[in-house]
Structure 1
């Protein structure tokens, strides 16, 4: 019975559900208070595995729907920029349902992908700024192109050696020296 409880606790940790001992140790350790808000949020948010999967599916489908619907208004870059970026935000937020918001932020700020995260989030902000305030179609399309590139680079950061492989492939394809 004890081994089964240990296995269940390991599965909870892998699913992003805080185990009681780990949750209380977070509050006792004053040195690791950098994610205090997320600790409180994780402690109060007790979703079952089924609810987490439903939240993930709903958020992901809504994000993909917004992204696909943005293609309908492609020739209006302002509307395209808003719906495309909103779809990306929903799809990015969907993974927080699976692994929890604290672990999501921790993984995004991991030294391996901190630059990819910064580029991706900055490109979303620039795209929304160009679409909502500047209202320049050319700048909005340029920002959306940057956002799409940031999305690809961010997604590649989760696959081991993918970014170095793509970099070498791009260098080989576009190298002009003979």
Structure 2
């Protein structure tokens, strides 16, 4: 089972290659699936729960928790493909711009939260950060970005 949209990688490179002895700390397939699921869900929950910090006025905590949640969700795939392949796929031509934009927004969000301390700007950056992560993730789904463009385009035309 290969990750969709990975034409830049060798075709014999299986997503969860059980024959690779260094594949994600030698976890078996079931352990890697559990690791992926738990890491993704925990990251998502941290991002959602970060809004509690925002409602109490703890802007820096909100930015850190939201960004940490997004990072955990992104890194969950390392359980499936390993850290080296994760980096290679992040910076493959098809998703390089999305990766750089996401990472740049992540850093910018934290800088704004700790220096400027503007709640509105930080919230806007977090929303755009989430959208950048969503766009990055869509590159793994066949025709995912095309479908998003069509939906957004049809909403704008109305």
State the TM-score, normalized to the length of structure 2.
Answer: 0.75
How many residues get paired?
145
Using the alignment, how far apart are the partners of 1:147 and 1:82 within structure 2? 13
Q: Residue 99 of structure 1 aligns with which residue?
A: 81
Q: Residue 126 of structure 2 aligns with which residue?
A: 144
8 A Cα contact 2:24 2:78, kept in partner:
no
- Tell me: CA distance 1:18–1:109, structure 2 relative to 1, closer, same or farther (3 Å): farther
Greater fraction helix: 1
> SS at the partner of 2:87?
helix
Q: Counterparts of 1:32-71 in structure 2 under 5 Å? A: 42=22, 45-71=25-51
- Deviation digits for residues 37-69 of structure 1 (CA, Å, limit 9, x no counterpart): xxxxx4793333344334324422321221121
8 A Cα contact 2:47 2:66, kept in partner:
yes
- Tell me: CA distance 1:66–1:43, structure 2 relative to 1, closer, same or farther (3 Å): closer
State the TM-score, normalized to the length of structure 1.
Answer: 0.68
Q: Which runs of 5+ in 1 are unaligned?
A: 1-11, 21-41
Larger Rg: 1
Q: Which runs of 5+ in 2 are unaligned?
A: 1-12
